[in-house]
Chain A
Amino acid sequence: NAGVTQTPKFRVLKTGQSMTLLCAQDMNHEYMYWYRQDPGMGLRLIHYSVGEGTTAKGEVPDGYNVSRLKKQNFLLGLESAAPSQTSVYFCASSIGIGQGNEKLFFGSGTQLSVL
């Protein structure tokens, strides 16, 4: 079982460069999420999607864009990377939140460094 797969696992960018992080899930989940994890800050929600073709802003959306063109994929884009975006990024998926199916399945993370 693949579950939630994130690519790449590691990336180093220069300030101003762009990149896309890919998240793929094979569990037919409706809900998908992008979080960033920073020391002392815990997990912060960047964007999320409650279904194919829909996206919504989370707690810290600035500087990021997302797309959910296919149900199984959720892409996170950085148009012009900044050092403040150095972080570990996690994708997660769920059958649904607030509906009695609250279990989140997480990917193994992407370590991004912006120089």
Chain B
Amino acid sequence: GNSVTQMEGPVTLSEEAFLTINCTYTATGYPSLFWYVQYPGEGLQLLLKATKADDKGSNKGFEATYRKETTSFHLEKGSVQVSDSAVYFCALDSGAGSYQLTFGKGTKLSVIP
């Protein structure tokens, strides 16, 4: 079956530090990959996505590249801000015939001034 594994949190960084949150996946076929973000007290919202190998998704300074050879989709940001403090979820959609996304367990990021 499909699965998504994220690095354990919580992650605490100082403002302007570099961020990496690791995500690896197991899936049949050619899944689409996503990062969702959950700010305190809110529901999840889509941050970025990539639909095929070597695609790079980007949004709000965050980037992730779909690496089929390593089955990975690591999230990166060059300089984090306090406002980036949130829980980040990696997810996949296995494609035609699927009806649901498979989510990782989430990684909590705290950015301190």
Listed residue (A42, A92, A100, A109) with the most chain B CB atoms within 10 angstroms of its CB: A42
A92–B44 alpha-carbon span in the complex (Å): 9
With a cutoff of 8 Å between Cβ atoms, the chain B residues found around residue A90 in the complex are 43-44
Q: How large is the interface on B (under 10, 10 to 19, 20 to 34, 35 or more residues)?
A: 20 to 34
| Option from B34, B41, B95, B103 in Cβ contact (under 8 Å) with A43 | B103
Q: How far is the CA of A104 from the CA of B92 in the complex (A)?
A: 12
Q: Which B residues lie within 8 Å of A41 (CB)?
A: 105
Per-position binary interface string of chain B over residues 78-113, scored 1 when its CB falls under 8 Å from any chain A CB and 0 otherwise? 000000000001000111111111011110000000
Most buried by B among A40, A50, A102: A102
B93: chain A residues within 8 A (beta carbon) = 97-98, 102
Beyond A42-B103, A102-B32, whether A108 also contacts B89 by CB under 8 A is no
With A97-B98, A98-B94, A99-B96 as known contacts, state yes or no: A43 contacts B32, CB within 8 Å: no
| Min C-beta distance of B3 to chain A, whole Å | 11
Give chain B's interface residues, CB within 8 Å of chain A: 32, 34, 36, 41-46, 49, 51, 89, 93-101, 103-106
Measured CB to CB, the residues of A under 8 A from B are 4, 31, 33, 40-43, 45, 48, 50, 56, 58, 90, 92, 97-100, 102-104, 106-109
Could you list some 19 contacts between A and B, CB below 8 A?
A: A33-B100, A41-B105, A42-B89, A42-B105, A43-B44, A43-B103, A56-B99, A58-B100, A97-B99, A97-B100, A98-B95, A98-B97, A98-B98, A102-B32, A104-B46, A106-B44, A108-B42, A108-B43, A109-B42
